[in-house]
Structure 1
Amino acid sequence: MCGCEAREQQRGAAAFGIALCALLGPGIARAQAAGTTDAAPAAPIDVVVTGTRTPESIQRSTVRTDLVTRAEAERRGATNVAEALEGQLGVQVNPGAYGSLGNPSAIQIQGFDRDRVLVLEDGERVIGDVGGAIDLSSLPLADVSRVEVVAGPMSALYGASAIGGVVNILSAPPALTGASGRVRLEGRLRPGGLVQGSGAYRGDRLWAGADVALEQRAGVPLDDGTPALLAPARLQHMIGLRAGATLSPRIKLRARARWLRDDSDGVEVQSIPGLGSYVLDLPSVSDRFAVHLTEEVDLGGGSGLRLTAGRQWISQENRKDRRDSPIDELRERQGTMQSLESIATLVDGQTRTWVIGARAEMEELSQSLSRAEAVGDAIAVHEEEEVPRTRLGVGALYGQLAWRPFDELTIMPGVRGEMHLRYGAVVAPRLALAYRPTSRLSLRLAGGRGFRAPSAKELGFLFDHSFYGYRVIGNPDLGPEASWGVTGDASLTVSDEVSFRAGGFTTWISDLIDFALDPSASSGGIDAYSYKNVARARTAGVDVRATLRPVSWLSAEVGYAYLWTRDDTNQRPLSGRPPHTVMAALRAELPAELELVTRFRVVSDTFVDENLRSPGFNTLDVRLARTLWTGAQIYAGVRNALASRRDPGRTGDQRPFDGRTIYLGLIAEMPSEEP
């Protein structure tokens, strides 16, 4: 109904969203989707939205949600989303695990990573992955208000790729009425620098803001006497515009536009038997432009409707330039995504709240390769399509009921149905329970189905590495990966000074997409691999943490997480998943308006394959800041003070690339916001 078939493409998608909105009509409750809202500036910062698509206090949230504010991220010495989350208990953010993909900082949750964890910006899916991994280090903090992380299958609300969980990166309107601004300046060793700035104005009915960021980092040398780099030099730019308007007491509009550019320059030394060694420059340029529009209609009595439209463009260019040789390669990738979504809730008395949503999405991707090769005494340039223009369309309907039979208990069933252009329909149910017998104890349990749709690269032809003796061929007959997962946790507040939280999970996944040798397509000494739904796997784990505040000026947090994984197809653990992580953090407000923040993390050794393990490592981050005046702070710190670093001569080593990083900076807000 409502023209929801994905084959109508863009016009059909628009009709689908508009028709559903018309059907919902008056009486539908105000929808606060898992994106930003024009909430009053005084709204508490501990309100989260990602777990249920409705605003909830983090202390009373039905679905467990971890929250990292921008202020907390900066206390951790972070300049981007990857650094903000890499010390968070229960997740792993480590570019050392993805070296073959160009070192993206992807996130791993409950043992799942790459495109099995959904990354959102203001509730909208981020495109532009590298080998399935969204590089969180390419997302600066300049316009970020907070980052919310929900673990476990979330496909009932968000659809494909939410098997391991969801990361939602949220912006916000200006906090102060009138003109305001913010600047952050920072210098780093290894050499690098950061400039982030924001300017905004908020009036009675209109607000607008502009954000810019520029960050430069030197490459990490290989230290083997060659010009090779362990990690590339990077230069990142960001320009963003945000605006909102209250057209009437019942209608609000919001718009956001963002341009991100990431330039990196890697260097590699390649030895060819009989020909010697060649130095390869590996420049890469990525541009992503995103526009997101939102309309919120308040229908009275807490009722309303939220309509969103988004579009993203991604352009990536990767070169392989051999010095003193014309034998070069250029790989270009183009992608777009457009989406329409309508989300509503229906308040049914005092005990029931319905969430009803619809989404239509269309994504296109293409990838080409231009290669210069020697043909006799001449150089010939060959061009080919690695991924022919591929179109992936989906239409979805989803619903959720929050029922409180009594104040202490919330029962939340939900279900999502999606129709995909390539492989038909998928249904994902979920059930969440939250019980709060006292004001100090909370118990939560959630279970549901997750799924991941095959990507355009997996469906189409991916790449040809015949030079190295293999190539990978896409499979248009792939089906979605599917999982069932259960998560639970308990939170206990003993007193204002002491609190505890413990949680656990288990997940079963089937039809995991992996490489498989295709003998029928192998010839001439070149092995051909194809994507297939071949694997079954399981993950399980627990985490415990305690928060302590023994005195007013000192707070501490300690935690431990255990992860167990099993590749049932190959009868071994999943590769690159560290089983043990320990975390400890301390924040002290010292005399002379000084603030000391330390974070210590221990990561155990990790299974890579039957004969290989990545060594464990420890990291220590320290930051000392002093308030100059209200709203201004100077700070100095060191990340990875213990200098844990990957050994480039050790195969499978997944320790961090960067080593020790020392920094000095300044943050200033104008006008300053009184505490």
Structure 2
Amino acid sequence: MVVRRCVSGGQGSLTRAKALGGVLFSLFAATTEAAAQAPPPPEAPSTPPAEAPPREAAPSASGEAPSEIVVTGTRTPESVQRATVRTDVVTRKEAERRGATNVAEALEGQLGVQVNPGAYGALGNPSAIQIQGFDRDRVLVLEDGERVIGDVGGAIDLSSLPLTDVARVEVVAGPMSALYGASAIGGVVNVISAPPALLGLSGRVRLEGRLRPGFLLQGSSAYRGDDTWAGADVTVEDRAGVPFEGNEPALLAPARKQRAIGLRAGTAIGSRINLRARARWLNDVSEGTEVQRIPGLGDYVLDLPSVSNRVALHLAEDIDLRGGSNLRLTVGRQWIFQENRKDRRDSPLDEVRDREGTMQSMEAIATIVDGKTRTWVIGARAEMEELTQRITKTETDGTSLSTHETEEVPLTRLGVAALYSQFSWKPFDELTIMPGIRGEMHLRYGGVIAPRLSIAYRPTSRLSLRLAGGRGFRAPSAKELGFLFDHSFYGYRVIGNPDLSPEASWGVTGDVSLKITDEVSFRAGGFVTWIDDLIDFALDPSSSFGGIDTYSYSNVAKARTSGVDARVTLRPFDWLSAELGYAYLWTRDDTNERPLSGRPPHTVMAALRADLPADFELVARFRAVTSTFVDEDLRSPGFNSLDLRLARGLWSGAQAYIGMRNALAARREPGRMGDQRPFDGRAVYLGLIAELPSEEP
């Protein structure tokens, strides 16, 4: 249920938010006091910390491990096989087997999701993820449970998140607003780090070179004592641009440079309190080039440099309340600084767009174990996001030049206070029933309620059935409320709309997992989602002047998505594992009576991993995507991709490898309208990974 209120000014909403905050913390005080005073259940389970090091055992071709611990689906640690909510996991080790250097590459071959920068060419080719037919602001991206800011047109670029300190990436499909709030309509991606696994000093380095000019350096070092640990990591990566065609200066994909530095530390205070801190700086520089053809005036070459800096701080305190119960307190702050330039060669008519944003958050999550069969999760969160955007243009009136600065997005504040709760009940060992609900108070929109119900039934150790349904919602972003982007040289621009309403959805997901034999397992799932008040820009321009059409965002549509997926995993021998999967996606824009644009309906994947003699390891992954609806009478061609990687152990903890991404050279055809195939062609790479000491047994 979405409750809309007419808010006259921010003061009334702010008062309500403060009142809600008082209720939240009063409730927490009472809950934690009761938990601390209650005697511990005689056999209460011990709850490991959410950032415990991942445990791997005999991974399949997909990397899923029987003993992997996941936290994203329920905010409580669970075995991936017994998780109440289906959670897909890609560990760092499996991501590197796939040849991935960042989170985007780690997930792009995952069944049930799409990661293809070719679908976002108008935004500068960010590697955004699509889950259950939803993308951009409708999929929530987290780092250690904290929302990532710094999107491009609503899309978080997963290729900007390196794997250097990543332990695993968890993906949960379906509406998760009951736990995570706005933007979790299609699902949640949680990039999780972990303390060092080994006592004492440890280090890790990855060096890689690519035949299309480029290199990668990822290094980390850490120390872990009995009660204290600390770590640091660095990433340096350069990639050449992808030429358009022939000798034309335009680039299909820009040249890119990435620099990142991270610091992490943790300590125990007594036997019941753990403190952790994380700081990260990410610098991303891209250098694109376009050719603008103006009838009667000729061709103009435009350099499109872009610089992005993101700084993130995250502090967390875990308090053991005994008996398996715990309380987590977190504080986070992020800064984003983005500069996009449009430099016309041999012309002073340039422009610079600057965007600055911040987000600060506080959250408290209590996990209360109530006997052997009941567990409560109660959380409260307060968040404030600010954004401003300016543009500086140098123009001519025919006789002289003038430079002026315009505030495209005035300082915009989006604040929210939330209270959520989840109750896990096991009436008997095979069945788990988990209802949950979240209430949010937005400074601009009033109140939003999002319920959810999950049921998991495991009648035998080989069979697991899960069903979940819930409400999803997404409040309009600051960019949609203000000016987003100006593509006047293409003949259009898009402006924001301060009168937008939140999007709201209902969704149902279900899946079944069956271990047929010790060597063969099967998993299948399905979903259906209905969404109202979908935000997009209207197909008809609101105005036109000087040949430039102006579009405005509005709540334009109702839509539906549904789909199924199935996967078979085989392990006929200890040295060989294989996987075969298929996913079908159906989408419908009910308002305009057509499919949603850029959603491939059919995807087939296959994977193979073989441990060969002489300590060689071979990994192959194949993916086929069918043609995709883009617009009336316009479809993007389907494509096939194949990734190969051959590695050999050198000594304990060290491995040399050679690989090829996109071996079939699937690539966008320059100049073809609506073509959303990958921008990158075939890429060959050679590298070395070394750990000291080795984490392997």
Q: How does 1:113-152 map to 2 (within 5 A)?
A: 113-152=135-174
1:455 counterpart residue number: 477
Aligned to 2:14, which of 3, 7, 10? 7
Code of the residue aligned with 2:671 in structure 1: it is G
TM-score, L = length of structure 1: 0.96
Q: How does 1:176-575 map to 2 (within 5 A)?
A: 176-516=198-538, 522-523=544-545, 525-575=547-597
Code of the residue aligned with 2:574 in structure 1: it is S
Aligned to 1:91, which of 113, 129, 137? 113
**Equivalent pair of 1:295/1:306 in contact (CA under 8 Å):** yes
Distance in 2 separating the partners of 1:463 and 1:649: 22
Task: Provide closer, same or farther for how the CA distance between residues 450 and 26 of structure 1 changes in structure 2, counting only shifts above 3 A.
Answer: same
The one-character-per-residue Cα deviations of 1:170-223 (angstroms, maximum 9, x if unpaired) are 000000000000000000121100000000000011000001001100000001
Q: How does 1:22-37 map to 2 (within 5 A)?
A: 22-28=29-35, 36-37=50-51
Task: Provide closer, same or farther for how the CA distance between residues 78 and 40 of structure 1 changes in structure 2, counting only shifts above 3 A.
Answer: closer
DSSP 3-state at the match of 1:592? helix
Is 1:615 aligned to 2:629, yes or no? no
The one-character-per-residue Cα deviations of 1:569-604 (angstroms, maximum 9, x if unpaired) are 111111100000000000000000000000001000
Task: Provide closer, same or farther for how the CA distance between residues 268 and 486 of structure 1 changes in structure 2, counting only shifts above 3 A.
Answer: same
Code of the residue aligned with 1:500 in structure 2: it is F
1:16 Cα shift? 7.5
Task: Provide closer, same or farther for how the CA distance between residues 28 and 123 of structure 1 changes in structure 2, counting only shifts above 3 A.
Answer: farther
The one-character-per-residue Cα deviations of 1:376-421 (angstroms, maximum 9, x if unpaired) are 3221012101111100000000000000001000000000000101
2:647 counterpart residue number: 625
Task: Provide closer, same or farther for how the CA distance between residues 21 and 38 of structure 1 changes in structure 2, counting only shifts above 3 A.
Answer: farther
Aligned to 1:639, which of 642, 647, 661? 661
Code of the residue aligned with 2:451 in structure 1: it is P
**Equivalent pair of 1:281/1:322 in contact (CA under 8 Å):** yes
Task: Provide closer, same or farther for how the CA distance between residues 13 and 209 of structure 1 changes in structure 2, counting only shifts above 3 A.
Answer: farther
**Equivalent pair of 1:32/1:55 in contact (CA under 8 Å):** no
Task: Provide closer, same or farther for how the CA distance between residues 279 and 9 of structure 1 changes in structure 2, counting only shifts above 3 A.
Answer: farther
**Equivalent pair of 1:594/1:627 in contact (CA under 8 Å):** yes
Task: Provide closer, same or farther for how the CA distance between residues 33 and 150 of structure 1 changes in structure 2, counting only shifts above 3 A.
Answer: farther
Quick check: 396-405 or 468-477, which moved more? Answer: 468-477
Code of the residue aligned with 1:565 in structure 2: it is T
DSSP 3-state at the match of 2:248? coil
1:225 Cα shift? 2.4
RMSD between aligned residues = 2.2
Distance in 2 separating the partners of 1:40 and 1:584: 25
Is 1:595 aligned to 2:602, yes or no? no
**Equivalent pair of 1:6/1:12 in contact (CA under 8 Å):** no
**Equivalent pair of 1:33/1:306 in contact (CA under 8 Å):** no
**Equivalent pair of 2:207/2:687 in contact (CA under 8 Å):** yes
Gaps of 5+ in 2: 1-10, 37-43, 58-65
The one-character-per-residue Cα deviations of 1:306-353 (angstroms, maximum 9, x if unpaired) are 000000000000000001000001000000000000001222222111
Distance in 2 separating the partners of 1:257 and 1:23: 33
Percentage identity across aligned positions? 76
The one-character-per-residue Cα deviations of 1:107-157 (angstroms, maximum 9, x if unpaired) are 000000011000000000000000000000010000100000000000000
Task: Provide closer, same or farther for how the CA distance between residues 571 and 174 of structure 1 changes in structure 2, counting only shifts above 3 A.
Answer: same
Quick check: 81-90 or 647-656, which moved more? Answer: 647-656
DSSP 3-state at the match of 2:85? coil
**Equivalent pair of 1:517/1:528 in contact (CA under 8 Å):** no
Quick check: 16-25 or 454-463, which moved more? Answer: 16-25
The one-character-per-residue Cα deviations of 1:507-554 (angstroms, maximum 9, x if unpaired) are 001100111267775555543322111200001100000000111110
Task: Provide closer, same or farther for how the CA distance between residues 514 and 34 of structure 1 changes in structure 2, counting only shifts above 3 A.
Answer: farther
2:672 counterpart residue number: 650
DSSP 3-state at the match of 1:207? strand
DSSP 3-state at the match of 1:587? strand
DSSP 3-state at the match of 2:614? coil
Code of the residue aligned with 1:52 in structure 2: it is T
Code of the residue aligned with 2:51 in structure 1: it is T
**Equivalent pair of 2:153/2:484 in contact (CA under 8 Å):** no
Task: Provide closer, same or farther for how the CA distance between residues 324 and 16 of structure 1 changes in structure 2, counting only shifts above 3 A.
Answer: farther
**Equivalent pair of 1:156/1:428 in contact (CA under 8 Å):** yes
Task: Provide closer, same or farther for how the CA distance between residues 317 and 188 of structure 1 changes in structure 2, counting only shifts above 3 A.
Answer: same
Code of the residue aligned with 2:435 in structure 1: it is P
**Equivalent pair of 1:34/1:49 in contact (CA under 8 Å):** no
Code of the residue aligned with 1:150 in structure 2: it is V
Distance in 1 separating the partners of 2:259 and 2:54: 30
Task: Provide closer, same or farther for how the CA distance between residues 624 and 12 of structure 1 changes in structure 2, counting only shifts above 3 A.
Answer: farther
1:24 Cα shift? 2.8
Distance in 2 separating the partners of 1:31 and 1:281: 59
**Equivalent pair of 1:104/1:134 in contact (CA under 8 Å):** yes
Distance in 2 separating the partners of 1:34 and 1:200: 21
**Equivalent pair of 2:55/2:69 in contact (CA under 8 Å):** no
Distance in 2 separating the partners of 1:67 and 1:41: 12
Quick check: 315-324 or 512-521, which moved more? Answer: 512-521
Distance in 1 separating the partners of 2:396 and 2:153: 29
1:6 Cα shift? 6.4
**Equivalent pair of 1:28/1:345 in contact (CA under 8 Å):** no
DSSP 3-state at the match of 1:100? helix
**Equivalent pair of 1:402/1:411 in contact (CA under 8 Å):** yes
**Equivalent pair of 1:48/1:57 in contact (CA under 8 Å):** yes
Distance in 2 separating the partners of 1:340 and 1:20: 16
1:38 Cα shift? 5.0
**Equivalent pair of 1:220/1:230 in contact (CA under 8 Å):** yes
2:195 counterpart residue number: 173
Code of the residue aligned with 1:390 in structure 2: it is T
Task: Provide closer, same or farther for how the CA distance between residues 79 and 517 of structure 1 changes in structure 2, counting only shifts above 3 A.
Answer: closer
